Amino acid sequence: MPITVKVKEKQLDSFLKLTCIIGLSDEDKMIHVTNNFIVNGLANVCLRFKCNGMGTPLVCSILSFSLKKAEGWKVKLKVSCQETDIPFYSEWVCNGQWKTIGQRLCSDTSLDNVYINIININITTGKVEESFHKKIYDDVDFTDFNLSAADGSVAVHRTYLAAHSDVFRAMLRKEWKEATEGCVQIEGVTRQTLQHLKDYMYLRTLPNEGLEPLLLLGSYYLMDDLKEQCVSKLALNCTSKEWSRLLEFAAVNKISELISGLMLNPSTAVQKQKEKEVEDKE
């Protein structure tokens, strides 16, 4: 019996969730390539599962193509998966090449000599910003405002602040002290967090660490898009060890979106249940 794969699609806001049920038998060189899936009307993706026989890892890969080539777009793909042996999160520009997501050595269960694996893959897309944003990001001659923390400041352009936040827009349009001095002191953050804020405003990138203080900035300055992206990345990449801490953080800061995201993350819930079962046995 060859490898069998069944995929269920579910749209979660901007994310396409693919729940893959993979059945493996004791054969050599098993391989299966799925049909194509459309992500946000921007990218076409398919999945490949390979296994060289029982006792060897099941390897998961993804192939992506941009659907906007005729319009001169570059499409960035963001993919996360918790069920591989090493949790996976990465983003790259669709390039028509296979990219390995990860592998699994142990199956979830077996039935009639068929070994069953369940893997959830979350995918979203976005348009790569034009190169002039990077040029403005690198500019040091025409910055006209500073975001300041206790350990340093970050130079920015007022137009970018106003474009991303109505709070900053109101501050800069009126005769506020900050507008006159060309600087705003932001309490409770580090210069690194302010640099992450600039990176997102100009380049639409998020850090792999330090998302919580960036999320608080997005919430305070009414930057809904930044807030949504931080919540998505935190919830999708949360491990069972971080789950309780992040849930407490969300509750203390009244971030209901993060609470919902953490509660709906099936991989952490399953892992926590497994850990509880092990503790009960001990």
pLDDT bracket for residue 215 (50, 70, 90):
very high
**More confidently predicted of 100 and 69:** 100
CB proximity list for 200: less than 8 A, separation 6 or greater:
206, 214, 226, 229
The residue-averaged pLDDT of 62-80 equals 82
* Mean pLDDT, rounded, for 41-55: 91
Q: Is the pLDDT of residue 214 over 60?
A: yes
How far is it, in rounded angstroms, from Cα 40 to Cα 44? Answer: 9
Helix (H, G, I), strand (E, B) or coil at 85: coil
163 vs 270: which has the higher pLDDT: 163
What is the rounded distance in angstroms from the CA atom of residue 211 to the CA atom of residue 228? 12
- The answer to which of 5-9, 52-56, 161-165 has the lowest mean pLDDT is 52-56
| Residue 270 pLDDT class (50, 70, 90 cuts) | very low
CATH T-level assignment (fold) for domain 131-205? Potassium Channel Kv1.1; Chain A (3.30.710)
Determine the Cα–Cα distance for residues 201 and 256; give it in Å rounded to an integer: 23
Long-range pairs for 137-146 at CB < 8 Å and ≥24 separation? Answer: 137/198, 137/199, 137/202, 137/203, 144/182, 145/172, 145/182, 145/183, 145/184, 146/182, 146/183, 146/184
Whether the per-residue pLDDT at 211 is higher than 90: the answer is yes
- Identify residue 136 by its one-letter amino acid code: I
The answer to which of 144-148, 204-208, 260-264 has the lowest mean pLDDT is: 260-264
What CATH class does 4-127 carry?
A: mainly beta
User: Does residue 246 or residue 264 have the better pLDDT?
Assistant: 246
Cα–Cα distance for residue pair 51/34, rounded to 1 Å: 15
The full DSSP string for 138-156 is H--SS--EEEEETTEEEEE
Please give the helix or strand (H or E) that residue 255 lies within, else none: none
